[in-house]
Chains A and B, each alone.
Chain A
């Protein structure tokens, strides 16, 4: 899966194309339209789509990098950044060995995983209270 992999497992990866990159970009465009019209978020699992070697990198570089870049450290790191197209986010979850566990494209104003969770806030509040006691 892309650049994070050190091993070159490809053979004859010259100019192979599944032709899935362009339809995916169109899907993202439609998802943006739905977000604008109805506030309906969308999420695409990149693991479920057949990609030729190099195609995922091509998609990622076409989407580019925008203004926001966040890195989680929760059960291993996660890379979350907004692409050149506001509202289109690339979310990559890694495990402790920096291997990709899952990768999503999210169309939303902010990926929900960035938000602080009520349970965690409560837990933190209790810890702070305990510290001040």
Chain B
């Protein structure tokens, strides 16, 4: 398949009808969380869209993000997208290995300099480059080198976006996010552990369709998917508002599907599309299956003070702080009290009654 065909030509080549293309556009718009009124715009953009070259770099990661994407259960849409992009390097998925694989990466970079898309999953170790290498090249060097000619970088997963689990305390590898090393390229953070498959493909599709970066929030995440908190879109929200909470995992409230806030749900501070896009081809999402949200699409979710600790509770051991504080306060109070007492006694002892002589002296002057 030629690399510079438009997506429409690719589809026509596969014998796909215009009606099928329109159906594809409708599902794609829905995938990108665009309003249905945008479907014609998606169609005309996709007609002209060129097949971008994609270089996928996997650093300190668990391959969960790649699993999420390749196991996504809408093969038609995602499959078409993968037909529509040219995945030139992905060392987990590609057949080539060693020098041949690296040669493919270098070739893709040279051929598409300034136009290719870099997808990164995994964080980058900075404490010692030897912690993670590919073909003898450290992750940091490979990222910096590959990023030079990139049109944009998509950080897939919380590791690439925010450092993720490798970055969790005490961060032995000195793991950092892509955005900590690259500052001169547009970076789209698609966070989540793993990200929702339709969100990954939705962002890729957006870039493919419009060739632009979607609107991003303060943490560099596409607003279309990360614009609202889990809590705001949660179907259990009415229970929160009524003050009906599950107190444990097997009480009456849990069975009735009440709000999981008291069991540590991080929904109120977590931004993701789980409550609407859902998982496993729209079957369910954690809260629907009775488990609080872990907040996996937020920075440092691993160090968030415990998955089952309610959001309103402190993360440090305040009971111990209270005990030590009270003891220290008592000691200081007794010391100061003794000082004050001594001063009072001294003042009493220094007190001399006024005599008639004193008063007369005063009168005389």
Interface residues, chain A, with chain B CB atoms under 8 Å away: 1, 5, 7, 9-19, 43-45, 47-53, 55, 72, 74-76, 78, 91, 93, 95-97, 99-102, 104, 112-113, 116-120, 123
Contacts and interface: CB of A to CB of B under 8 A. Distances in A.
B19 A50 contact: no
Given A75-B76, A99-B281, 19 more contacts: A1-B281, A5-B283, A11-B289, A12-B254, A12-B255, A12-B257, A17-B235, A18-B237, A18-B238, A53-B288, A75-B20, A93-B27, A95-B74, A99-B73, A100-B282, A104-B26, A113-B22, A113-B26, A117-B17
Secondary structure of the B contact surface, majority rule: helix
B220 to A, nearest CB: 22
Instruction: Give the contact-size bracket for chain B.
Output: 35 or more
A50 B281 contact: no
A5 to B, nearest CB: 5
Interface of B: 16-20, 22-24, 26-27, 29-31, 33, 35-37, 39, 73-77, 80, 233-239, 246, 254-258, 275-278, 280-284, 288-290
Secondary structure of the A contact surface, majority rule: loop
Contact of A113 (B23, B29, B234, B257): B23
A99 B73 CA distance: 8
Contacts of B20: 74-75
Contact of B36 (A15, A44, A72): A44
Nearest to A96: B76
B30 A47 contact: yes
A52 B235 contact: yes
A74 B284 contact: no
A102 B73 contact: no
